[in-house]
Amino acid sequence: MPQPPWRVTVVTNLLPPYRRALYTRLQQRPEIAQLQLLLLARSSQRRYPWAIPPSADGLQISVLPGISVQGATEWVLHLNWGIAARLRSSAPDLLVLSNYDAPAYWRALLWARRRCPTVLLFESFAGSSTYRQGLIAALKRFFLRRVDAVAAFGTQAAQWAHALGVPTERIVTGINTVDMEWYRTQALRWESSAELQRARERYPVEGLLLYAGRLLPHKNVAAVLHALALAGTPELGLLIIGTGPEQPALQELCRRLGIAQRVWFLPPQPPEQLPFYYVLADALVLPSRIEPWGLVVNEALACGMYVLCSRRAGAAYDLIQPGWNGELFDPDVPEELAHHLRALPAQLPALRARREQIRQHACSTFSLEQLVDTMWRAFALASQSR
């Protein structure tokens, strides 16, 4: 293995804005001579259509030729070709794989077997894993045991990687995150704006809850509506930002539960607009039944929000301190969430006074820099294996 600075190639499915910030910061480390990103697809049909802007930040980005097969929900299979030729031409000193659920990742792992060390970025955890037995689980274990190091994005991810057969000494653990300081800066910009005050007047409730994400069955937004009705707190309202096949059923459920007058649906918002809504609302609700992490929790905390988080989200175990910056609940028991909602109106003055403390803690503890350092430590660990 050559000594740093290294040429690093990352193979990943997409490049959403929050990951671009991570790779931009990573390539600024003096130990990295070149960082190249090979994408399996330019965008996702089911998510906000992120554009890939010109590389003013110096990133080298290429999209592999291929097709994407879209499933009925969030499932996507990327079928690409030409990755071995791209890797031969870039001749990386280190190969980074962001997943194992597409043929290109397997082909890249095979290519690197006798050429350079490999690092897997691992975000899954036991609570989000659909396949724990059978052929797919066996393939997952086979893949994980053949990379040189695993960068686990969260303590639950580290435990799951170990359960899948990766020795503890080959796992480096960090906290999955976004550019927290950017969100904090945007929150401070909006906090005292006249536009925010005018927007808040459109929601005539004492406390405003926020859900931001896709409206899909496993996102479990119906549980929030049931909890809101069960709580018996007419002073609380809910703002839902997002779209998806569940939207008509959710709107009908609001009418049946008698809460339609205090639930508002907005279309998806561009990432740069989301901090406005994080400041507008008092508490974020993440009710997912399956959620490998939930970066919306990071974003909300960086803006000072209180977060009511499902125990099925990886973020719950590393980000939430119950009673201080949020609460945890079982997504299959709406009464648990309703219990927290009943307590919320009396807590609102204290939570609003605590927003800056929540922001500061989130930005210092879950910073992008600590995740960059996690990746670098995984790189260094992988290099020692060759």
pLDDT band at 239 (very low <50, low <70, confident <90, very high): very high
pLDDT of 78 = 84
CATH number at residue 317: 3.40.50.2000
User: What is the tens place of the pLDDT at every residue in 4-27?
Assistant: 899 999 999 989 888 999 999 999
What pLDDT score was predicted for residue 232?
Answer: 93
Q: Is the pLDDT of residue 192 over 90?
A: no
Q: Are residues 356 and 376 in the same domain?
A: no
What does pTM read for this prediction?
0.94
- φ and ψ of 34, to 5 deg: -155, 135
Query: 18 and 155: one domain?
Result: yes
Q: In terms of domains, do 332 and 207 share one?
A: yes
Residues 81 and 193 in one domain: no
Do 70 and 212 share a structural domain? no
pLDDT at 48 > cutoff 80:
no
* 262, 235 contact by CB (below 8 A): no
User: pLDDT tens across 89-119, in order?
Assistant: 999 999 999 999 999 999 999 999 989 999 9
Q: Are residues 215 and 268 in the same domain?
A: yes
Residue 24 CB: number of other CB atoms within 10 A? Answer: 18
pLDDT for residue 131: 61
How far is Cα 45 from Cα 305, in angstroms, rounded to an integer? 30
Q: What does the pLDDT read at residue 173?
A: 98
Which domain covers residue 203, as residue numbers?
180-365
Q: Which of 339, 333, 323, 275 is nearest to 301 (CA)?
A: 275
244, 171: one domain: no
**Contact yes or no for 326/306 (Cβ under 8 A):** yes
What is the pLDDT, as a whole number, of residue 136? 81
Q: What's the pLDDT at 26?
A: 95
**pLDDT 10s digits, 203-223:** 999 999 999 999 999 999 999
Same-domain pairing of 17 and 142: yes
Q: pLDDT tens across 253-289, in order?
A: 999 999 999 999 999 998 899 999 999 999 999 999 9
Whether residues 44 and 156 share a domain: the answer is yes
Whether residue 270 sits in one domain with residue 127? no
Please indicate, yes or no, whether residues 16 and 130 belong to a single structural domain of this protein.
Answer: yes
Query: Does residue 48 belong to any structural domain of this protein?
Result: yes
Token pair 């070149």: residue: 34
User: Rounded to whole angstroms, how far apart are CA atoms 292 and 356?
Assistant: 27
Domain count, the chain: 2
- Residues forming beta bridges with residue 34, ordered by sequence position: 7
Residue 19 lies in a domain: yes
pLDDT above 90 covers a percentage of the chain that reads: 81
Indicate if 172 and 228 belong to the same structural domain: no
Q: What angle do CA 194, 199, 203 make, to 5 degrees?
A: 140
